[in-house]
Amino acid sequence: QQQVKQSPQSLIVQKGGISIINCAYENTAFDYFPWYQQFPGKGPALLIAIRPDVSEKKEGRFTISFNKSAKQFSLHIMDSQPGDSATYFCAASETGSYQLTFGKGTKLSVIP
């Protein structure tokens, strides 16, 4: 059972454009939603995270939007740059759990 569904699988965006990656979850007990960024040959690294008490969190060009009623959250990358080209994973967990459940990932390519 896939508890976190991520789309699209791949995404191509022009430099300066907005990249949007979406995730949906099923478990209403989830209360922590991080995004990880992974460059080729490297391990994933925490990018930004949100809890359901806020609907949006912004850090620089990266924004998480959260819709609790729809059980969806998304990552927006503003002014996308070629250096943002990477694989992005959404994830979720619930209080008291030892583990994160990951989406399947989105490969983002930002072309000049």
Partner 1 sequence: DAGITQSPRHKVTETGTPVTLRCHQTENHRYMYWYRQDPGHGLRLIHYSYGVKDTDKGEVSDGYSVSRSKTEDFLLTLESATSSQTSVYFCAISDMGVAYGYTFGSGTRLTVV
What is the nearest approach in angstroms of partner 1 to the Cβ of residue 103?
A: 6
Using the minimum distance from each CB to partner 1, give the nearer residue, 79 or 94. 94
What is the nearest approach in angstroms of partner 1 to the Cβ of residue 44?
A: 5
Burial class of residue 11, CB neighbours in 10 A (0-12, 13-18, 19+)? middle
Using the minimum distance from each CB to partner 1, give the nearer residue, 36 or 62. 36
**Contact residues for partner 1 (CB under 8 A)?**
6, 32, 34, 36, 41-46, 49, 89, 93, 95, 97-100, 102-105
What is the nearest approach in angstroms of partner 1 to the Cβ of residue 112?
A: 26
Using the minimum distance from each CB to partner 1, give the nearer residue, 63 or 103. 103
Asked if 71 and 28 count as a contact pair (C-beta separation under 8 A), the reply is yes
The residues, ordered by sequence, that sit 6+ positions from 80 with a Cβ below 8 Å of its Cβ are 13, 14, 15, 16, 17, 18, 19, 61, 108, 110
Q: How far apart are CA 83 and CA 60, in angstroms?
A: 14
